[in-house]
Amino acid sequence: MSNPGSKPLDDFQRQEDQRTAQLEEQLQSLQAEIQNLKSVMEDMRGYIKRLEEERERSLAYPHIEAVILDVLPNGNYVVKSSTGPNFLVVSSPELNKEQLKPGTRVALNQRGSTIVDVLPPSQDVFVRLMEVEERPNVSFSDVAGLDEQISLIREVVELPLQKPELFREMGIEPPKAVLLYGPPGCGKTLLARAVASETKATFISLVGTELVQKYVGEGARLTRELFELAKKKSPSIVFIDEIDAVAGKRVDASLSGEREVQRTMMQLLAEIDGFDPLGNVKIIGATNRVDILDPALLRPGRFDRLIEIPLPNKAGRREILQLYLRKVRAEGVDPGVVADMTEGMSGADLRDLVTEAGMTAIRNDRKVIASRDIMTALEVVKRRKQRMQDVGYIRRT
Ligand SMILES: Nc1ncnc2c1ncn2[C@@H]1O[C@H](COP(=O)(O)OP(=O)(O)OP(=O)(O)O)[C@@H](O)[C@H]1O
Ligand SMILES: [Mg+2]
């Protein structure tokens, strides 16, 4: 069969095939390019990530606090570091140069070579570091299972604050400072806040680790200001949590970090020694690690009253459970039975247990906690605690 039109058609077909082949080639090369760009992008992402990490590292504490003394024509800065010496430094490019004037407080990176941050005037640091609560909203009835400890602390903190004349007439000096010690989550902070609230004292709290880690070079000065503030706001209770960070036994006083901690502790001891036991400032310290405290801190006239806040025993656990079960809707839950099953748990764990049981009830569309919810929650809380222990969140004391 002959078809006169077949030749042009064949040609057309050939052309089409050629065109398709060309396009396919183009497509392939474009795809290769996309692939290429993707891998460039991947590389760039990695690069950005590395830069971000580097930036974060350089911004991570501890920093050296310094004050700018002079801005040199070449754009460098002369700064006086809070640890003593003057440094010639540069500034990190992302900082606003306008802000970097003589007198500005800045943070240097760890090596002390670069200004990495502009710090607020020192008063702000102070306010950020310390929490001042005029009257904490906690009472002794919120603290369960610690009756003995409550009466001890009332005797050494509340009584001298409220009735100093009793001591004056008797001619004895009440203790200035008490130390609460024991494992985490058993009510040290809670008890300290309750005392402040019940005595109508201002509660000024700060955390030892923050004092030494975040404000390198400022610990001693902040300690001094802390006590000034306490006197100004008296009657007041100064609460130093994690006091072991400031007052641990010296490991190596030749390290500059250690020297800094030592200076802070010296200042703390000087402040305690310097104030009047009959004045209306009392100090409460708290620690998980009484074993590592410097004995100098525990000498007579300083933290000479130690109150242990231990893990609750069975009766204590029952009281804590009762306290938290009263705040929720529960039916048929016997705190005594639950106390039997929660050996080794802290007050914080028991509070979590009740919360978790509430969640379980809600998940199952019930409005009241039943004893099976407690059982489910117990497994959850135990597992959570184990995990925390495995990753080292809970310090074993
Ligand atoms: N004895 C208790 N009575 C009532 N609640 C408690 C008790 N112990 C702990 N809790 C609950 O656990 C929370 C944490 O306790 P708290 O902060 O007082 O522990 P802590 O002993 O200071 O622990 P850390 O050593 O970790 O600072 C409290 O806010 C409270 O809800
Ligand atoms: Mg605490």
Task: Report which bound ligand comes closest to the CA of 190.
Answer: 1
What are the C-alpha distances in Å from 363 to residues 78, 356, 366, 369? 62, 10, 7, 11
Pull the structure tokens for residue 264. Answer: 């802070």
Q: Which residues contact 14 (CB under 8 A, 6 or more apart)?
A: none
> Rounded to an integer, what distance in angstroms lies between the CA atom of residue 177 and that of residue 156?
8
396 has a pLDDT exceeding 50: no
- Which tops the pLDDT comparison, 387 or 19? 19
Three-class secondary structure of residue 115 per DSSP: strand
Q: 146-171: per-residue pLDDT in tens?
A: 999 999 999 989 888 888 888 889 99
Task: Report which bound ligand comes closest to the CA of 186.
Answer: 1
Task: Report which bound ligand comes closest to the CA of 240.
Answer: 2
CA angle, 163 then 165 then 170, to 5° = 120
Is the distance from the beta carbon of residue 180 to the nearest atom of ligand 1 less than 6 Å?
Answer: no
Give residue 3's pLDDT band: very low, low, confident or very high (50, 70, 90).
low
Phi, psi (degrees; rounded to nearest 5) at 42: -55, -45
11 has a pLDDT exceeding 90: no
> Rounded to an integer, what distance in angstroms lies between the CA atom of residue 134 and that of residue 204?
8
Q: 219-231: per-residue pLDDT in tens?
A: 777 888 888 888 8
Segment 105-132 mean pLDDT = 73
Is the distance from the beta carbon of residue 208 to the nearest atom of ligand 1 less than 6 Å?
Answer: no
- Specify the CATH number for 64-119; select among 3.20.20.370, 3.40.50.360, 2.40.50.140, 3.20.20.70: 2.40.50.140
Our measurement of the distance from residue 79's CA atom to the centroid of its chain's CA atoms, rounded to an integer in Å, reads 30
Compute, in angstroms, the gap from residue 249 CA to the centroid of ligand 1.
26
Task: Report which bound ligand comes closest to the CA of 317.
Answer: 1
Q: Output the average pLDDT for the chain.
A: 85
- Which tops the pLDDT comparison, 38 or 2? 38
Give residue 98's pLDDT band: very low, low, confident or very high (50, 70, 90).
confident
Residues shown for the chain: 397
Is the distance from the beta carbon of residue 157 to the nearest atom of ligand 1 less than 6 Å?
Answer: no
Amino acid residing at 104 = T
Is the distance from the beta carbon of residue 333 to the nearest atom of ligand 1 less than 6 Å?
Answer: no
256 has a pLDDT exceeding 60: no
> Span 314-390: which CATH code?
1.10.8.60
Helix axes 371-390, 347-363, angle to 10 degrees: 130
Compute, in angstroms, the gap from residue 242 CA to the centroid of ligand 2.
8
Is the distance from the beta carbon of residue 81 to the nearest atom of ligand 1 less than 6 Å?
Answer: no
Rounded percentage of the chain residues whose pLDDT exceeds 70: 88
> Rounded to an integer, what distance in angstroms lies between the CA atom of residue 71 and that of residue 106?
13
Compute, in angstroms, the gap from residue 166 CA to the centroid of ligand 2.
32
Phi, psi (degrees; rounded to nearest 5) at 119: -95, 150
Is the distance from the beta carbon of residue 320 to the nearest atom of ligand 1 less than 6 Å?
Answer: yes
Q: 170-190: per-residue pLDDT in tens?
A: 998 888 999 999 999 999 999
Which pLDDT does position 288 carry in this prediction? 92
User: How many C-beta neighbours within 10 Å does residue 372 have?
Assistant: 15
Contact by Cβ (8 Å): 251, 207: no
Give residue 397's pLDDT band: very low, low, confident or very high (50, 70, 90).
very low
Q: How many helices (H) and strands (E) does the chain have?
A: 14, 11
> Span 126-308: which CATH code?
3.40.50.300
Three-class secondary structure of residue 390 per DSSP: helix
Contact by Cβ (8 Å): 361, 367: yes
* Mutation probe of ligand 1 site: the residue of 189, 244, 352, 381 with most atoms within 8 A of C-beta: 189
Phi, psi (degrees; rounded to nearest 5) at 354: -65, -40
Q: Which of 40-54, 57-71, 99-113, 369-383 has the lowest mean pLDDT?
A: 57-71
Q: Where do the structural domains in the chain lie, given as residue ranges? A: 24-60, 64-119, 126-308, 314-390
Which pLDDT does position 354 carry in this prediction? 96
Compute, in angstroms, the gap from residue 241 CA to the centroid of ligand 2.
6
Q: 51-96: per-residue pLDDT in tens?
A: 888 777 666 666 788 888 888 989 899 888 777 678 899 998 888 8
Compute, in angstroms, the gap from residue 351 CA to the centroid of ligand 1.
9
Segment 122-143 mean pLDDT = 69
Is residue 5 left, alpha or beta, with left meaning phi > 0 and alpha meaning psi from -120 to 50? Answer: alpha
- Which tops the pLDDT comparison, 215 or 113? 113
- Which tops the pLDDT comparison, 242 or 126? 242
